[in-house]
Chains A and B, each alone.
Chain A
């Protein structure tokens, strides 16, 4: 296979990975919560998109923002009514809580939807330029993923709520003195995390078959990407996502797809030893 094709596959995969990891990274960086629900949020977004598409026949690109808003509401509520009660506790406590909530959500999805792999089939055909070969649904997925990433970047940089989220992350008490309600900002942050996960799931359902069995895989990917890219920033997750996509694409071709994931984890281990802040991470926020 051509090296250009491998790199192209890597970028497509990487931008989807970035979309998966951004919400996870935001929640981890701002709330110091390792959100075990993240994988299930992705699958929930994907399943809801699939069923909405199947029963209404609407274009999944139109369905995506609706699903994202539903996931935002779910995330906001979970944080506001449950996780906020223990958010100041050590990280293991919130991890256990989100793990428990994940068990509920995961099993609920398996019971309601079954674990059958499902996919939104768009039949958009394939684009070929010279030797390069690209399914158009994947290109669409990549475009949507990058668009969402850009929107979140702008929200974090230039909006009032973005400033409030950074302020709460940097200094809770000083943020309180600005009149910022920390519990509300925490819930919004977790909601945005769920929104990005749901949107990523919706995109994935247009590109790959998804099933509840994949929740752990997605969670693992998000974890690796955060460690590679660095925590809590949109550019960090983007760099980490593209890096992992490239690594898996190259490793998949050279030493076989069955080893690609392992290579990702090994690189994460090496990076943890050499540069614990991640590629784009800031010191003090490991």
Chain B
């Protein structure tokens, strides 16, 4: 069996005395779209923050193609190839769309390649090109999400983590963003999606991990989990 792309083993983490993640183990395969679902407060965002080095875990290991990331600062994690699109977009107010995108490439020095990636992002989301000089935070929610995803891509990651893709967006927009993610995925980028909206996540991702109170409770292909009566009842309201 080939080694997993992202391998998370026995991660425990929290804030101060409050432990949020009790024992998280999961692995993401190269080239797939995986998703992490779970209710509010289950620890999904904390897990992403732990992977990207903002939260320090108290135990466990996180490996990207064999490289240990626990103990790395956020800039080292980004350099290793993991980009994190945070919950709520978090675009920089007062900076233009293009400046926001360029901040995604902050750690890179390869000017030519950066320019190519910028036009790749503009091809993916043509509306961003139209609005390139506008203050990014004055755009609609959907456009801001596009900008946030584009900013993530600008770091030329091997793994793109997106926290709450659908938050505050109209269903039709979420569908379109989902199609774009599939397109980005086809170009070779592995994607880890975190969603509260299970239906949306299952439509986009191939495999899913369900997190409950800091543990992975169930995992499997989204096709199989989508037919699991317990999942249907707990998360899809069917």
* A positions within 8 Å CB-CB of B: 160, 163-164, 166-167, 170-171, 173-181, 282
Contact = CB atoms under 8 A, between A and B. Distances in A.
B103 A163 contact: yes
Contacts of B92: 166-167, 170-171, 174-175
Nearest to A157: B99
Given A167-B92, A167-B95, A170-B93, A177 B84 contact: yes
20 contacts: A163-B95, A163-B99, A163-B102, A163-B106, A166-B94, A167-B92, A170-B92, A171-B93, A173-B54, A173-B86, A173-B90, A175-B103, A177-B52, A177-B74, A177-B84, A177-B86, A178-B78, A179-B75, A181-B73, A181-B75
Interface residues of B, number: 24
Given A163-B95, A180-B75, A174 B90 contact: yes
Contacts of A181: 73, 75
Interface in B25-60: 52, 54
Contact of B106 (A166, A170, A171, A180): A180
A160 B111 CA distance: 12
Given A177-B52, A179-B155, A181-B75, A170 B86 contact: no
Nearest to A284: B93
Contacts of B103: 163-164, 167, 175, 178, 180
Contacts of B90: 171, 173-174, 177
B74 A179 contact: yes
A181 B91 CA distance: 17
Contacts of A166: 92, 94-95
Given A173-B86, A177-B52, A179-B75, A160 B106 contact: yes
B148 to A, nearest CB: 9
B173 interface: no
A171 B151 CA distance: 15
Nearest 9 Cβ contacts at the A-B interface: A174-B90, A179-B75, A179-B107, A179-B78, A170-B92, A176-B74, A178-B106, A167-B92, A178-B103
Interface string B76-101: 00110001101000111111000100
A174 to B, nearest CB: 4
Contacts of B84: 177
B104 interface: yes
Centre residue among A167, A180, A282 by max chain B CB count within 10 A: A167
Centre residue among B94, B102, B107 by max chain A CB count within 10 A: B94
Contacts of B95: 163, 166-167, 170
Given A171-B92, A177-B86, 13 more contacts: A164-B106, A167-B92, A170-B95, A173-B90, A174-B86, A175-B92, A177-B52, A178-B106, A179-B106, A179-B107, A179-B155, A180-B103, A180-B106
Contacts of A173: 54, 86, 90
Contacts of A282: 94
B108 to A, nearest CB: 9
B94 A170 contact: yes
A174 B84 CA distance: 9
Contacts of A176: 54, 74-75
A164 B106 CA distance: 8
A181 B76 CA distance: 10
Contacts of A180: 75, 103, 106
